């Protein structure tokens, strides 16, 4: 297929029913855009049965769970679309989502990545859809919930009206609408590498946004459309999707470790040389302590 408008890349892990709903929402899209849809299956369930006799999708089955970054990169290397949509399987698009995001990017040529409001089943905004890059103060504010006591600790998640169009530092990998030129480069912008495969899961979206911004692309949040996000169904750690998740205790442990590893990798990669030995020591110890506390919490809940 030539002249692809959008390459949609979905990495899935044991969430067959949610994936089916996500794909149905794509089919219901009201647009004339030419699409190719990649399904990268890291799971061990019977998701493959959805694609056994189908030619609608480019289905890739991995023998093992290679992680979010590596699985996305498998598709990015062969994607032909003018735009790339990184999409989680635990999402549902509105009928105008693809057309609105496509039109937005066509108008705003200086935007490398765009996103829209992601709403949880509760109706609340998934705050990860519009973030600032982490600093020591805003990270402490988020982890210890100190932002409500002092403005000094605010900023990790962008507050204010969800109905205003704004430039942001980063968005969640659950929905990233990316201009293909971000990865190929052009006269104004240096080529940005694909997802860093050091990140197994979580943190890779933040890292990619960081590098895209370094190459002088804008990342924008627009309220022109929205999607539903069950959030965390693969890992089974989020309240919004806990009843829909099939994750066992071992899977949950691996996701907790991935979260801890992601914080360490991101800090070491982007901030380590900016701080002194004492600060680096405190940050790394804090990451390890947080990991142990999360494991302890999981053990208590699962008993």
Closest CA to 228 of 152, 120, 122: 120
Which CATH architecture does the domain made up of 6-302 adopt?
A: Alpha-Beta Complex (3.90)
- Nearest-angstrom CA–CA distance, 72 and 91: 17
Q: Which two tokens stand for residue 22?
A: 């996500």
The helix (H) or strand (E) run that includes residue 40 is: strand 35-41
Closest CA to 126 of 158, 100, 149: 158
- The three-class DSSP label of residue 109 is coil
pLDDT score of 303: 54
- CA of 138: how far to CAs of 144, 185, 219, 267, 280, in Å? 10, 32, 20, 14, 16
Closest CA to 101 of 8, 210, 10, 1: 8
Q: Which two tokens stand for residue 230?
A: 């069950």
Q: Where are the domains of the chain?
A: 6-302
Q: Which two tokens stand for residue 88?
A: 């989680």
Using an 8 Å Cβ cutoff, are 83 and 177 in contact? Answer: yes
DSSP β-bridge partners for residue 37: 8, 57
* DSSP label at residue 215: T
Percent of the chain having pLDDT more than 90? Answer: 74
**Quick one: pLDDT band at residue 301, thresholds 50, 70, 90?**
low
For 86-103, write each residue's pLDDT tens digit. 999 999 999 999 999 999
> Does residue 214 carry a pLDDT above 90?
yes
pLDDT score of 155: 73
- The three-class DSSP label of residue 231 is coil
Q: Which two tokens stand for residue 202?
A: 């979580």
Contacts of 218 (CB under 8 A, 6+ apart): 108, 110, 111, 112, 167
> Does residue 125 carry a pLDDT above 80?
yes
Closest CA to 161 of 117, 108, 128: 117
pLDDT score of 52: 84
Number of H helices, E strands in the chain: 8, 11
Cα 153-159-163 angle, rounded to 5 deg: 170
In this prediction the pTM is 0.92
- Average pLDDT score over residue span 199-216: 96
Closest CA to 215 of 174, 178, 262: 178
Return mean pLDDT, the chain. Answer: 91
The helix (H) or strand (E) run that includes residue 260 is: helix 249-270
Using an 8 Å Cβ cutoff, are 229 and 126 in contact? Answer: yes
> Does residue 140 carry a pLDDT above 80?
no
pLDDT score of 152: 65
């Amino acid at each position: 297929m030539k002249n692809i408008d959008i390459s949609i890349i979905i990495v899935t892990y044991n969430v067959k029913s949610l994936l089916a709903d996500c794909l149905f929402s794509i089919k219901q899209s009201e647009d004339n855009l030419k699409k190719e849809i990649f399904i990268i299956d890291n799971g061990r369930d019977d998701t493959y049965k959805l694609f056994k006799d189908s030619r609608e999708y480019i289905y890739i089955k991995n023998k093992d769970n290679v992680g979010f970054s590596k699985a996305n990169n498998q598709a990015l290397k062969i994607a032909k679309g003018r735009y790339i949509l990184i999409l989680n399987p635990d999402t549902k698009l509105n009928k105008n989502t693809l057309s609105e995001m496509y039109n937005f990017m066509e108008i705003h040529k200086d935007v490398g990545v765009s996103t829209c409001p992601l709403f949880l089943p509760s109706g609340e905004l998934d705050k990860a859809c519009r973030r600032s890059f982490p600093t020591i103060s805003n990270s402490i504010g988020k982890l210890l919930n100190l932002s409500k006591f002092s403005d000094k600790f605010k900023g990790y998640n962008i507050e204010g009206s969800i109905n205003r169009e704004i430039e942001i530092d980063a968005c969640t990998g659950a929905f990233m609408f990316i201009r293909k030129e971000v990865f190929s480069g052009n006269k104004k912008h240096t080529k940005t590498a694909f997802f860093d495969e050091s990140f197994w899961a979580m943190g890779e979206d933040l890292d990619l946004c960081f590098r895209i911004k370094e190459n002088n692309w804008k990342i924008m949040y627009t309220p022109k459309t929205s999607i539903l996000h069950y959030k965390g169904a693969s890992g089974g750690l989020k309240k919004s999707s806990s009843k829909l998740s099939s994750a066992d205790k071992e899977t949950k442990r691996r996701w907790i470790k991935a979260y801890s590893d992601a914080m360490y990798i991101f800090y070491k990669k982007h901030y380590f040389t900016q701080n002194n030995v004492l600060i680096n020591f405190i940050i790394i110890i804090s990451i390890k302590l947080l990991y142990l506390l999360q494991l302890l919490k999981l053990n208590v809940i699962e008993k």
